[in-house]
Amino acid sequence: MRRRDVLLGGSASLLTLPAAAQSRWTFDRSVSSIEMSVSAFGQTRRGRFSDWSGDIIFDPASLSRTRANVVVQAASLRLSPSIGTDRATGPGFLDAARYPTIRFVLLSVEPAGGDSYNARADVTIKGRTNAVSFPVDLRATGDRAHLTGAFTVNRTDFGIGTSGPWNRLVGRQATVRFALQARRT
C-alpha cells in the first residue's frame, strides 16, 4: 500500500497515513460554532469565537487515524453581554494582541458506544499547551460529519487572569463547547 504524508493546516505535526485510508474534510463554518462560558461576577458569561479555521483527517472506518487542527483568533471572542469582551481579550486575560491564536489539536478519538467517543487533544492558549480529555458525539453521513462536545480548562493553567483585581471575581474553570460540521473534500 502506498503511503503519503499529510501536514495539518500549518501545524508542525506530520502524520503518515496509508493513502487509501486518508479522507480530508473541511469544516463548514456557516453551520459550526465554538463557544465558551465562565462564571464571572456571580453570573455565567457566554461568548462565541467568530473567526477560526481548521481541517480534519477523518476515516469513519478507522477512527484511530482521526486528527484535527483548529486555529481560533483570540480577538474574535464576543461575550454576552458585550461589556466584558474588551477585558476578556485584553492583556489581563487572553491578551489577544500578544497571543493572537488559540490552537486545538485533536490527537485521538476512541469509541465509547454508539455515536459517543472519548477524545484527547492539546490546547494551546497564550503559548502554553495542556492536554484535555473529553466526551464527543461524532456522526458521519455520506460526505458530512458532525462533531459536538465540550471540555473544561483551568484558565490559570494558561496564565489567563492570574493577577490583578479581576482574578478573584472570575471562575477558574472555563468551558469550551463546539458544534462542528465538516464536508469531505
Residue of 87, 69, 64, 73 lying closest to 13 (CA atoms): 69
148 forms bridges with which residues in the sheet?
137, 179
How far, rounded to the nearest angstrom, does the alpha carbon of residue 171 sit from its chain's CA centroid?
Answer: 20
What digits encode the pLDDT tens for the residues 2-40? 333 333 333 333 333 344 445 788 999 999 999 999 988
Helix, strand, or coil here: 66? coil
Is the model more confident about 15 or about 45?
Answer: 45
Query: Which pTM does this prediction carry?
Result: 0.83
What CATH architecture applies to the domain 3-184?
Beta Barrel (2.40)
Position 100 confidence tier, pLDDT thresholds 50, 70, 90: very high
Amino acid at 31: V
Q: To the nearest whole percent, how much of the chain has pLDDT over 90?
A: 56
Cβ(74)–Cβ(100) below 8 Å = yes
Rounded Cα gap, residues 93 and 10, in angstroms: 26
Range 56-84 average pLDDT: 87
Half-sphere exposure of 136 (CA within 13 A, CB side): 25
